[in-house]
Structure 1
Amino acid sequence: MLKHVSFLTRDLAATLAFYKRLGGAVEKNLTTAEGFRRGVVRLGEGRLQFFEIQGETPTPHGHWAEHVALHVPGLHSLLPELRAAGVTVTRDLQPSPGGRDMAFVLDPDGRQVELLEGGL
């Protein structure tokens, strides 16, 4: 069973806000004993964990195959809202191989996020 996936971020507040907009619930937003800013977002049963790294630049790979995939309700209305908020859409709304509508966007650190219509 997957506990979480962990990533680096340049801006923890922006990253947590982005995933909250996609239906996530922020569970943790704190400073660790080692002095790192850490955030955890719950998405269904899974978790995304982010560590803010000051002075370092995370370098996520921009290829679509490396991505986070999320089920989101109301993708047709969410996508224009994300665009209006300045989120980059890298693959516009289209049917997924499984038949659900999907789109790809970039999170604040340039990670590919696949958005699939519907709940879990």
Structure 2
Amino acid sequence: MLKHVSFLTADLDAVLAFYVRLGGVTEKNLTTPEGYLRGVVRLGGEEGGRLQFFQIPGESPHPHAHWAEHIALHVTGLRALLPQLRAAGVTVSRDLTPSPGGRDMAFVLDPDGRQVELLEAGPG
């Protein structure tokens, strides 16, 4: 079972707020003994996966903007959510389109430029 995926971030507060807007819950937002800022977002309820982010002073993350390297999230109400994200200044990198399975899908960029696939949640 996956515990978490960890990434560097340039702005911990902005990246946590972004994933909370997509339905996540901030579990941790602290400074480590080394002076690193660390945040953890839980996705998908108590048993959901976690995204962990570190903001390390003096280091700059180098995200990749290619769609093949991305985080994929199930969301509810994608058609209503996408205009809200645009209004909040989120970059839509691939507009609403049917996924190979026929569900609504879009790609947006998180505050560090990471590709995030948003896929309409479905039954099962």
Q: What is the deviation of 1:98?
A: 1.5
How far apart are the structure 2 equivalents of 1:43 and 1:96? Answer: 21
Report the AA paired with residue 82 of structure 1. L
- Equivalent runs, 1:39-54 vs 2, <5 Å: 39-44=39-44, 45-54=48-57
2:61: which partner in 1?
58
Would you say 1:29 and 2:29 are equivalent positions?
A: yes
How far apart are the structure 1 equivalents of 2:103 and 2:50? Answer: 23
Runs of 4+ in 1 over 6 A off after TM superposition: none
For residues 49-105 of structure 1, the C-alpha deviation after alignment (integer angstroms, 9 at most, x for no partner) is 000122322111111000000001111111001001110000000100111100000
Q: Secondary structure at the match of 1:83?
A: helix
Would you say 1:94 and 2:97 are equivalent positions?
A: yes
Q: Could you list the runs of 5+ residues in structure 1 that have no partner in the other structure? A: none
How far apart are the structure 2 equivalents of 1:25 and 1:6? Answer: 16
For residues 13-49 of structure 1, the C-alpha deviation after alignment (integer angstroms, 9 at most, x for no partner) is 0000000000000000001111110000000110000
Q: Secondary structure at the match of 2:100?
A: coil
Q: What is the RMSD computed on CA atoms of the aligned residues?
A: 1.1
Q: Could you list the runs of 5+ residues in structure 2 that have no partner in the other structure? A: none
Would you say 1:12 and 2:5 are equivalent positions?
A: no
1:74: which partner in 2?
77
When the two structures are aligned, how many residues end up with a matched partner?
A: 120
